[in-house]
A and B are shown apart, each in its own frame.
Chain A
Amino acid sequence: MGQYLLRRLLIAVPSLLGISIVLFTVLALAPGDPFSEMALNPNIPPEVQAALRKHFGLDDPIWQRYFRWLVAMLHGDWGFSFISRVDVDTLILSRVPVTLAVIGASQVLALLIALPVGIYSAARPYSWFDRIASTLALIGFSLPTFFTGLLLILLFSIKLDWLPFVYRADLSATGWAWWVEQFKQSIMPITVLGLFQGAGWTRYVRSATLDVIRLDYVTTARSKGLRERAVIVKHVARNAMIPVVTLVALTMPQVFGGAVVTEQIFRVPGIGSLLIDAIQRNDTPVVMAVTFVFACLVIAFNLLADLLYGWLDPRISYR
């Protein structure tokens, strides 16, 4: 097990290097200039723009810039945002709490919907419950978040005027009032994301459970007189979860990466909106750092999923 973990971690190093080279090259080759906004400001002469490009080393060859970035990264220096003139790690860290709160909560909501509904539907396939759940799930993952988001805003913010549609990271209220306001402003983005994610997962959980529920050992469990509840929870669900774990683990990095579209609609200051702003402004160090963290998380969660298999199914061993 320990050896397996070590081997996987060592394999991750060249993958990450490869990813960083590809990312950096693509970003460097992409057209654009972090200081193009200055061109619109007549008070800033073009020489200033050129001087800044030189100051931040944007005119150096790509490979030089890459190695400079790599060496800094190995020293734990994430870089320096051209646009904000702030260290990139500070910028990312300031966005983490909101991202975790909103996107994390939506993932939890999705799981809370997907697991019970999916398993229950599979236990009674083609019943009324199953049919309704399947239809809703189909609608749920067919509607894109930018559509449902705008729909909710139109209904709850504009027609009914119940909920705010601008998310504020710093609420001035304290105590209970804070919780109420936080709930009011989070409910729409969480619902939009959670229902979308939950709908897809429901279908997945249902089919994974159906695969298992017809196997002989389930019949055996039922025959020896176990209660249905025990059969489903202890025998069916545990085995059905293996493919689900892979799926969920691979989506987890998204909690960090954020949901760009939803964050933009509700102005949730998460990492997703940081990334999109950085891309629009050609703020390469920020784009590089966020995407790189994302790559690391994908690799880490892949590993985590593999380790979880062993716990769920002891027959799987690591060599």
Chain B
Amino acid sequence: MQEEVLRKLVDDVRAGRTDRRAFVARLAGLGISAPFASLLLASAGVAQAQPAGYKPTRRGGGGALKMLFWQGPTLLNPHFAIGAKDQEGCWLFYEALARYDADGNLAPVLAAAIPSRANGGIAADGRSVTWTLKKDVRWHDGRPFTADDVVFNFAYATDPQTASTSVASYDGIVAAKKVDTHTVRYEFKTPTPLWDRAANVVLVPKHLFEAYGGARSRDAPANLKPVGTGPYRFVDFKPGDLLRGELNRDYHGANRPHFDSVELKGGGDATSAARAVLQTGEYDFGWNLQVEDEVLSRLESSRKGRVVACPSGDVEVILINHADPWTEVDGERSSARSHHPILSDHAVREALTLLLDRKSVQAFVYGRAGVATANIVNNPSRLNSPNIKDEFSVERANALLDAAGWKRGADGIRAKDGRKLKFLFQTSINSVRQKVQSIYKQSCAKAGIELELKAIAASVFFSSDVANPDTYGKFLADLEMYAVAGRQPDPDTFLQWFVSWQIASKANKWQGVNRGRYRNDEYDRLYRASQSELDPIKRTALVIAMNDFVCREHAIIPVVYRPSIYGVARQLVAPLSGWDNALSSIAEWYAEA
């Protein structure tokens, strides 16, 4: 994908020759996520699509909204949120400047408008972004919401003593400056086309948290009794179990919210949560229904509720270890200084890609919850490379391996120079992942590659415990599989997965994000160039170039693209988005009569 082609595409949208949706879909095919594509349009001065109309004509009157989360929120301070479940709970009471809608567009929440070059919000030099805030917003205790609150949240989250988990959202922002009472400016370390950083960080009130910054953060009473600007006021919270809220009479959105009370029940398992929403109708909304699609379809046949699959950037990938996990170098296996004796052969990597039967994985394992893709939306795409398509071909894999000199032995396993094509393939314990593992093992066997499967408890696999050998960061195996959550629009995080200075090693306590230990000077150069490129269109071209590069090299094997799966009661209208938390749009939810 060349820069000129991208420019033409953007021009087509501006001139009305192509509609936004088609543009976003086209870029998705090129490995660019929807939010990223939308940002590109916004920076190019193409107006936002008008939000769909909200139906209810008055505030309240919708009765109770009952939601079931099989993992309940355990805390209510957005800056301490450990997982998505905690952020979801926060959105009932707190809000952010903006949220990402289903198409990946930014929709204003506490901001009066989305910054753009046209309205002067985005600085021409790419060094800052200016947000104007809504004027009539009040915290639940009656205090006005002002620029001071936004500035405070930056200081609070970035104080290392607070030990906040939201600090990364402010990455690259060096200062939050108050311009006037309702205008705030984020200043960036370097000129960046990614001005939407921290746009959807949920904000807490300065007046209640100011006294509890840094080391005292755990003592703040508001940690457990949130006072926000959101559509619902806090009523009761039992960590991990129950969260209740009631209608906020002073909410800043007209005729919003619709429900008189909300209840979020946590605990149990995903299957029975799906049952309670889809089959018995006991609950109105079921979060993140990680249940086999076949079961969901059966439950759905009761017609009490429906399954909604929201496109998101989450992709399941198989990582290839480019370092040698079986030899110790300087007291460390999988050391960055080593090369994998077999997987450094391009033909073997390409054969491994060809042997992944993605269509069967989708048909027999994931169903609606995983769409076969050779293309990682938000991540490396291979669609634009005419030589490599989503292809499953045992014959071609066999031919490739034959040509590369890997000969079948008496046991049917290929070998060359005394090395057998045997790999250890690890992942976390999860019935779906184990099924994918065995499908892959079977097709690899057909090409004379033997896979040894290993499953590790998720709490160990994803742990940062340096003493444990089974973590995904140490990667003491040849292949490993897990999901990349691509919720944030910035592909930068994922692109860092292949740069040499991010290689996970003993020296950085295996915290480097390049867990595949991939190293290539050309890629590093492209990445550096993308970091300093201010023109959004040029940068996008670079991103696509990097995607291509990694895919042609078969540095990683994408498996499926995973939409977020929610259960929604029949009457409930909920504009869910896979690019943000499900409850980020809670103010817009209503029940049809």
Contact = CB atoms under 8 A, between A and B. Distances in A.
B163 A165 contact: no
Interface in A167-196: 168-170, 172
B511 interface: yes
Given A42-B484, A166-B283, A269-B242, A55 B163 contact: yes
B269 A264 contact: yes
A32 interface: yes
B473 A267 contact: no
Contacts of B279: 158
Contacts of B276: 165-166
A164 interface: yes
B220 to A, nearest CB: 10
A310 B466 CA distance: 55
A89 B241 CA distance: 16
Interface stretch (B24-32, B43-51, B336-344, B456-464): B456-464
A36 B163 contact: no
A165 B271 CA distance: 13
B83 A165 contact: no
Interface stretch (A118-126, A214-222, A277-285, A291-299): A277-285
Contacts of A141: none
Q: Which of B160, B236, B268, B485 has the most CB of A within 10 A?
A: B268
B240 interface: yes
B165 A39 contact: no
Contacts of A51: 160, 163
A33 B83 contact: no
Given A37-B82, A269-B241, A274-B240, A32 B460 contact: yes
Nearest to A164: B282
Given A168-B263, A264-B267, 20 more contacts: A31-B465, A31-B468, A32-B457, A32-B465, A35-B82, A38-B82, A38-B83, A38-B165, A41-B485, A42-B485, A42-B486, A81-B74, A83-B75, A83-B82, A85-B223, A165-B272, A166-B276, A169-B242, A264-B269, A281-B459
Contacts of B462: 33, 36-37, 39-40
B471 to A, nearest CB: 9
Contacts of B84: 41
Given A40-B483, A41-B485, A267-B267, A170 B283 contact: no
A225 B281 CA distance: 63
B457 A46 contact: no
A94 B265 contact: no
B9 interface: no
B68 interface: yes
A157 B83 CA distance: 32
Q: Which of B84, B238, B275, B464 has the most CB of A within 10 A?
A: B464
B239 interface: yes
B270 interface: no
Contacts of B167: 48
Give the 8 A-B residue pairs with the shortest CB-CB distance, closest first: A33-B463, A46-B511, A269-B241, A39-B462, A32-B459, A36-B462, A84-B239, A267-B268
A64 B465 CA distance: 18
Contact of A42 (B82, B487, B509): B487
19 contacts: A31-B460, A32-B459, A39-B462, A39-B464, A39-B472, A40-B83, A52-B165, A83-B75, A85-B80, A85-B218, A86-B75, A86-B239, A165-B282, A166-B282, A166-B283, A172-B64, A265-B272, A267-B265, A267-B268
Contact of B267 (A41, A91, A165, A277): A277
B385 interface: no
A169 B268 contact: no
Given A85-B80, A86-B239, A39 B463 contact: yes
Contacts of B459: 31-33, 36, 280-282
Contacts of B218: 80, 85
B502 to A, nearest CB: 10
A65 interface: no
Nearest to B302: A158
Nearest to A273: B267
Nearest to A169: B242
A45 interface: yes
Interface in A191-248: none
A36 B460 contact: yes
Contacts of B169: 43
Contact of A168 (B265, B275, B485, B513): B265
B274 to A, nearest CB: 12
Given A43-B169, A51-B163, A83-B82, A36 B463 contact: yes
A44 interface: yes
B177 to A, nearest CB: 23
B224 interface: yes
Contacts of B77: 85
Contacts of A42: 484-488, 493-494
A64 to B, nearest CB: 15
Contacts of B275: 158
B306 interface: no
Contacts of B483: 40
Nearest to B164: A48
A172 B239 CA distance: 18
Interface string A74-114: 00000011011110000100110000000000000000000
Contacts of A282: 459
